[in-house]
A and B are shown apart, each in its own frame.
Chain A
Amino acid sequence: MAVNTQPAPAATDERVREIGVLSRLLARPELGALVALVVVWLFFAVVAADNNFISWVTVAAILNRAAPLGILAIAVALLMIAGEFDLSVGSLVGFGGMAIMMLVTPVEAGGFGWAILPAIGVALLITLATGFFNGVLVVTTKLPSFIITLGSLFVFRGLAVAVPRSATNRTQLGGLDKVPGYGPVDALLGTKLELFGAKFDVAIIWWVGLTIVATWVLMRTRVGNWIFGVGGDNVAARNVGVPVSRLKIALFMTTAFAAFLSALIQAFQFNGADSLRGTLKEFEAIIAVVIGGTLLTGGYGSVIGALLGTLIFAMVQQGIIITGVDGDWFKVFVGGILVAAVIFNNFVRQQATKR
């Protein structure tokens, strides 16, 4: 009887196929968004060619539009990869902006009359406390964060309207540029940079910089590994010693921080705050993150994807404006792109895990 002789063990495993660069790329969560970005750009480059779509001015307009949302999307992406939602980020943008403005508004107008730096510091602490509150509530009640933060969406928006109105009788507070210490902070947060004949917001640098930091944290640190683990399987992660509760609370505080930074930048851009600023941004951020390849169920995703998703979002918005199409169509577009992106991402991920 013939014995089946095993082939000598080779240096490379015969079960590993050489997979091409394309298949390796397909395994990345952000690929779908990259393809969609190119498609959307080509679409407007053709449709809006006569409307100066391919120009630095348009590039600047798209980036300026994207930056405040993109900052939110970074934190929302990290939280969603860890398997949780934060529907209160939009409200926190309004809340954080009003907190700053309440503190700097002169006493005779119903505010506190503080200088700019202490006002920013204290408003930041208050906003971080709201994130802490969201996180603790989610961790201790074990209820879906969708429900908890749906509640805080209304609570914090309500506070952003009610507190300023009862104290100052207004829901829009301006005059930030008259507050002592305005100049140097404005240079960091609110100025525009002239490049190629177009004006770029300094917020873009914050957005891209934070994307790089968040990507590094996610891909190359222990905390990043925990984020994937907790989103993939809460119980398994806890069993191997991941501090699940602390991590989740920290991530809710990160989304609150992002909301605050976005609010702060916009306060300097618009020279004030509005109680209703950030309305619906929680959904726009989730849309950007999902277009960027992050799974709604957690455990898989990317911060770079969130950046690309935000770019798509802003590009569609800007494209519709400059083609002169009725702005009412924007939501139809965004909804369609969202569903298409999810279908495409599902397809890509199945291909990736099949390899």
Chain B
Amino acid sequence: MSEPILEVQNISKFFGSVIALKDVSMFVRPGEVTCLLGDNGAGKSTLIKVLSGVHKPDEGVYRYQGEEVNFSSPRDALDLGIATVYQDLAMIPLMSIWRNFFLGSEPTVGWGPFRRFDVEFAKRTTREELGKMGIDIRDPDQPVGTLSGGERQSVAIARAVYFGAKVLILDEPTAALGVKQAGVVLRYIVQAKQRGIGVIFITHNPHHAYPVGDHFVILRRGQIYGDFTKDEIPLEQLVQMMAGGADLEVLSHELEKAAQGGGPGSDELEKVAEGFEAEARGEAD
């Protein structure tokens, strides 16, 4: 098994008196997908920001390609090939796909004052690169605003891959998407992985994480709650751990009580409660 390309050991991050992360360790190898799972408030966003160079960790070691690194801005991380695709800040809706694709890294031709944006190259490359990722582009002149959410995420991923990302950090790329759209994005995650990129896939949905992940890190209340390879843990158990089985049981009891109180809609409530109980037992759908 190859060495991790990106690794953090015993990372902690404090904001005043708040302990956002405590002793968090994780890694990703080239050509693998490490899924970072956690419910809202688990510390996922803080960890991403540490990984992408937005925050400096207060404690712990950050290693990239075996060497210890210290980033002072996201640009530093990006220059080393650690690209982060944020959920909603990936693309500019009013701009065309090709303008978006090369924004900030425009290819140029010509010399001196006549140096200009190589529009033909940009359009052609956008089409080709999206094609390589299996993204079927309609018209590169189309404004990104006319693309669906999944397509937008996919273009952002393709862009990061084209600009030499060795590690791809994806912040909840499937969160706001429908089932079909999420599937599209999952496919591009697999494509990126097959191209030898280490992918860190942040999500709170174990059903999205399990099919593409090689490695699962579960974050709860700022600490590592579990760390498994795919053969160590079945999906059902992952779901249960993710949601926190005990919490779900309490919730199902509460809902049952509410249902027994009678009144309109109590039947539905009972059904919901049963569903939660089943999930708490690990009988995921």
Contact = CB atoms under 8 A, between A and B. Distances in A.
Interface of A: 13, 15-16, 216, 220-222, 224-226, 228-229, 232-233, 235-237, 239-242, 295, 299-300, 353-355
Interface size range of chain B in the complex: 20 to 34
Contact of B146 (A226, A295, A299, A353): A353
A218 B117 CA distance: 10
Nearest to A349: B94
A353 B138 contact: no
A226 B78 CA distance: 18
A240 B103 contact: yes
The 9 closest A-B pairs by CB, nearest first: A232-B92, A240-B104, A241-B104, A222-B106, A299-B94, A229-B103, A233-B92, A236-B89, A242-B104
Given A220-B119, A353-B146, A237 B94 contact: no
Nearest to A13: B138
B104 A229 contact: yes
Contacts of B74: 239
Interface of B is mostly: loop
Main SS of chain A's interface residues? helix
A8 to B, nearest CB: 14
Interface in B75-95: 75, 78, 86, 89-95
A225 B146 contact: no
A221 B95 CA distance: 15
A241 B84 CA distance: 13
Given A220-B119, A237-B104, A240-B104, A16 B139 contact: yes
Given A13-B136, A16-B138, A237-B92, 20 more contacts: A15-B138, A16-B139, A220-B119, A221-B115, A221-B117, A222-B108, A225-B99, A226-B103, A228-B94, A228-B95, A229-B99, A232-B92, A232-B95, A235-B89, A236-B90, A239-B86, A240-B104, A299-B92, A299-B94, A354-B146
A311 to B, nearest CB: 25
Contacts of A235: 89
A193 B95 CA distance: 41
